[in-house]
A = this chain, B = another copy of it.
Amino acid sequence: MTTETQDATTPAAGPAAEAPAVQHPYIPLTDDDRAAMLATVGAASTADLFADIPAPHRLPALDLPDALSELELLQAMQALGANNRVATERACFLGAGAYRHFRPSIVEPLVMRGEFLTSYTPYQPEVSQGTLQTIFEFQSLVCALTGMDVANAGMYDGASALAEACLMACAVTGRRRIAVSDRVHPHWLDVVRGYARGRGIAVDALPHGEFTLTGEHACLAVAQPDFFGRVSADAGVWGEAAHAAGALFVVAADPVSLGLYRAPADYGADVVVAEGQALGVPLSYGGPYVGMFACRERFIRQMPGRIVGQTADLDGRRGYVLTLQTREQHIRRERATSNICTSQQLIALATAVHLAALGPRGLRRVAELCYEKAHYAAAALDALPGYAVERDEPFFHEFVVRTPRPPAEINRALMERGIIGGLDVSDLLRHRMLLCVTEMNTRAEIDALATALEELA
């Protein structure tokens, strides 16, 4: 019954059949739409609409890969993704500013709701109460975590939040020099330097713990835990030193650690910044994350970024609006506190949902699990011949290990065993590795790490 003949005009199988010019799903205009619209516009062709472009430069060649259909795109991206060796099916002991934590399953479906995902910055409050209230809640949660009076709607990330905090300290104090601990994450320090350089502000990176300030310093900025994971009991002393010099005390905190450790407000912080990623945000090769920014009430008019405030509508019903906008670039232009405009709202929302799901017990439990497992791991590694854990100061969930061989070599060997090792910090400290252990690491993983390291000694 196989039929071999077929009328060439039959709408038939196969790509050779002459399909009508295919529309793109992202562009609804059809040929008839276009014709009708051009007639209304009074133009002969769409090309006419581009007549203001200097003719020699119009319609340049574009050397781009051919368009992919959605299926091909997904296949291509799957192939690319296969070249990443990620933590999904491996044990991961890498931290250093980006942390693998449990993300409750409710976070993603809520955050990815189209109404949150595809709305703009809430300029029209009557139809943006969803975003506005979640920002108000985010601000409140950041205050609760840090113990500070006020917080903004979020910054690009923790590092730029620290930089903006230092700039704010300069604006507040009228000084043009900032002091930063050299145990702040080196990348963050680099960001601070960049922002400071723009404004012509000097940066002193002071040896951690030895903070000698002068009357020139606008602030002292420290990280707690520091880059090597250590939590210092001296933070209160540093804060006093800063205040004694008339400087602000700026603390960069890990938000998960705040489930267990004292709020920076309690030891004198004037500004607290944090990288929010640890609260429900995927690693995503480094971004998008969100910076948390909180400070004392008296600085609110010098804060950078969006701020949401509570108010009422004409009928007296509670509502929220963007407020204190006279600080911002769209009103104050070159005299704005910062140029920041679009920030990381959706990620701020993710952290809010995450915290709402965890609650105080959940966050404390996560912090405790990190603490316990990291200390279990540290003890296990410290016991290995050839390895030594640096334990001169208390730590939270990251610690430094001295390795018998260059860490890069060890890491390559660990990867073959399905383990993502710690950060090679040999550039800072010879033969050292910075390891991170969180609630995501099972005891079996930690034991496997110890076994592997022993073999690699």
B368 touches A17 (CB 8 A): yes
How distant is A18 from chain B, measured CB to nearest CB, in Å?
13
B394 touches A2 (CB 8 A): yes
- B12, B112, B357: which contacts A109 (Cβ < 8 A)? B112
B371 touches A260 (CB 8 A): no
B residues less than 8 Å from A316 (CB atoms): none
Known contacts being A1-B233, A3-B394, A22-B361, is A368 close to B104, with CB within 8 Å? Answer: no
Using a CB-CB cutoff of 8 Å, which residues 53-105 of chain A contact chain B? 70-71, 74-75, 102, 104-105
Using a CB-CB cutoff of 8 Å, which residues 223-262 of chain A contact chain B? 233, 260
For A1, A3, A13, A392, the residue with the greatest tally of chain B CB atoms inside 10 Å of its CB is A13
- B70, B75, B371, B442: which contacts A13 (Cβ < 8 A)? B371
Would you give the 0/1 interface string for A157-192, flagging 1 where the beta carbon is closer than 8 Å to chain B?
000000000000000000000000000000000000
B residues less than 8 Å from A367 (CB atoms): 13
Q: How far is the CA of A74 from the CA of B102 in the complex (A)?
A: 10
Q: How far is the CA of A391 from the CA of B70 in the complex (A)?
A: 33
Q: Is the interface of A mostly helix, strand, loop or mixed?
A: loop
A11 within 8 A of B: yes
Q: How far is the CA of A22 from the CA of B360 in the complex (A)?
A: 12
A317 within 8 A of B: no
A14 within 8 A of B: yes
- B13, B71, B75: which contacts A260 (Cβ < 8 A)? B13
Known contacts being A70-B102, A113-B113, A361-B19, is A14 close to B372, with CB within 8 Å? Answer: yes
Known contacts being A13-B260, A109-B112, is A1 close to B393, with CB within 8 Å? Answer: yes
A439 within 8 A of B: yes
Would you give the 0/1 interface string for A363-380, flagging 1 where the beta carbon is closer than 8 Å to chain B?
011011001100000000
A198 within 8 A of B: no
Residue of B nearest to A110 (CB): B114
A15 touches B109 (CB 8 A): no
- B1, B14, B368, B440: which contacts A368 (Cβ < 8 A)? B14
Residue of B nearest to A230 (CB): B1
Given A1-B233, A3-B394, 4 new contacts (CB under 8 A): A1-B394, A17-B368, A71-B440, A74-B105
- Which 8 A-B residue pairs are closest in the complex by CB-CB distance? A13-B371, A13-B368, A71-B102, A14-B372, A1-B393, A14-B368, A13-B372, A1-B394
A-B contact pairs, 21 of them (CB 8 A): A1-B233, A1-B392, A2-B391, A2-B394, A3-B394, A13-B367, A13-B368, A13-B371, A13-B372, A14-B371, A15-B372, A17-B368, A22-B361, A25-B357, A70-B102, A70-B105, A71-B439, A71-B440, A74-B105, A109-B114, A113-B113
